[in-house]
Amino acid sequence: MVSLKDIAAACGVSTATVSKSLNDHSDIGIETKARIQRTAKEMGYVPNAAAKTMKTNRTHNIGVLFMDDANSGLTHDFFAPVLESFKKEVEKNGYDITFISNDRSRPGRTSYLEHARYRRFDGVIIANVHFDDPEVFELVKSNIPVVTIDHLYNETTAILSDNVGGMSDLVDFAVVSGHRRIAYIHGLSSSTTNLRLVTFNRKMEEYGIEVPDEYIKESPYRDTHGAYEKTLELLKLRTRPTCIFYPDDYATYGGLRAIAERGLKVPDDISVVGFDGIKVARHICPRLTTYRQDTDGLGTQAAKNLIDLIERPKTTLIKQIVVKGKLLEGDTLKKLN
């Protein structure tokens, strides 16, 4: 294994100069630094991770706590691109990522906090978990820097999709298109669901539109069967809606199946609206009218803010960052006027 001493001998400098050059210190000349770094690369020098950890008190390893009740894992059509952009940004800054196991049936499993301390994570990103889980609370309240995605705690920096703006844009678009009988199948209780539901009701109230109680249904996110069942309930109403909002794009396809089985067509007989802007929604006919969340922006902002908390803890504030998305006018919403 190539050592600092080997590089120093090859370059005719001291080991201290080599160390400073490889760590990009400003008190070494640009030409000398470049020559030493080039020589180290040519000799195949690899930094000693353990020594670096002892010196900086950092492992340059970040934990990822991600859970998906639908068991889609890293194929999750919304969170997969969020985590991919997060991964790219942290790796660009010299960090690796390790997933925290959430398999509670695993023999000898430890809590999330114990796992994070055992692995000596410099920080943890939390996404799509049961945010009211006591183990998640314990991790959030610890001294380990934490950033959450799409959930708000007082103790952590949160990167939030613009759920209020997104739902506002969708209601505006539907109402301006002539719809008054709008139903909403929302996700299970969460801060995201609450923001969207309250915004939906507020916007409808601003337009002077009364929403019947039977127009509001609940179904899990990314659950096509649940969306299918709730859509059938809506279609059986004496005065059925002209437009149905769904909790997410993936669930929408359960609704489309229910509509087709009743012999109805989208958007001629009934309009549907999603939320997320997943890629498949833009390539299946009819193209889904939806609100595209900025997955790249969410992941990148999560990475940048977590690294700030790790590297500059005394000057970095806990904050909430809202990442705006964009309304996508597809072919599933009919203009009635």
188 shares a domain with 149: no
Q: Can you give the pLDDT at residue 285? A: 84
Q: Is 66 found in the same domain as 9?
A: no
Which residue has 């959430």 as its token pair?
Answer: 102
Q: Give the CATH number for residue 265.
A: 3.40.50.2300
pLDDT by residue (tens digit) across 208-238?
Answer: 999 999 999 999 999 999 999 999 999 999 9
Q: What is residue 68's predicted lDDT score, i.e. its pLDDT?
A: 63
- Position 331 in a domain: no
Tens digit of pLDDT for each residue in 87-102? 999 999 989 999 987 7
Output the pLDDT for position 117.
93
In a domain, 153, yes or no: yes
In a domain, 53, yes or no: no
Same-domain pairing of 282 and 172: yes
Is cis: bond before 286, omega within 30 of 0?
yes
Q: Report how many domains make up the chain.
A: 3
| Pairwise CA distance, residues 289 & 292, whole Å | 10
Distance CA 337, CA 332 (A): 15
> 183-198 pLDDT, tens per residue?
999 999 988 999 999 9
188 and 308 inside one domain: no
Structure confidence at residue 337 (pLDDT): 73
- Any domain includes 249: yes
Percent of the chain with pLDDT over 90: 69
Shared-domain flag, residues 284 and 303: no
Residues 180 and 97 in one domain: no
Strand order in the sheet with 157-161: 96-99, 61-66, 123-127, 146-149, 157-161, 320-323
Q: What is the mean pLDDT of residues 125-150?
A: 92
Q: Same domain for 146 and 167?
A: no
What is the pLDDT, as a whole number, of residue 214? 98
Is there a domain that residue 214 lies in? yes
- pLDDT at residue 56 greater than cutoff 60: no
In a domain, 14, yes or no: yes
Is the same domain home to 276 and 300? no
Instruction: Please determine, for residue 242, whether its predicted confidence score (pLDDT) is greater than 60.
Output: yes
Same domain for 186 and 105: no
What's the predicted TM-score (pTM) here? Answer: 0.80
Q: Decide if pLDDT at 46 tops 60.
A: yes
Query: φ and ψ at 197, to 5 degrees?
Result: -65, -45
Within-domain flag for 205: yes
Question: pLDDT tens across 270-302, in order?
Answer: 999 999 998 887 778 899 999 999 999 999 999
63-80 pLDDT, tens digit per residue, is 999 876 555 556 677 888
* pLDDT level of residue 50 (50, 70, 90 thresholds): low
Residue-number span of the structural domain to which 36 is assigned: 4-47
**Average per-residue pLDDT for the chain:** 90
Q: How distant is the alpha carbon of residue 119 from its chain centre?
A: 23
In a shared domain, residues 169 and 271: yes
Same domain, 23 and 139: no
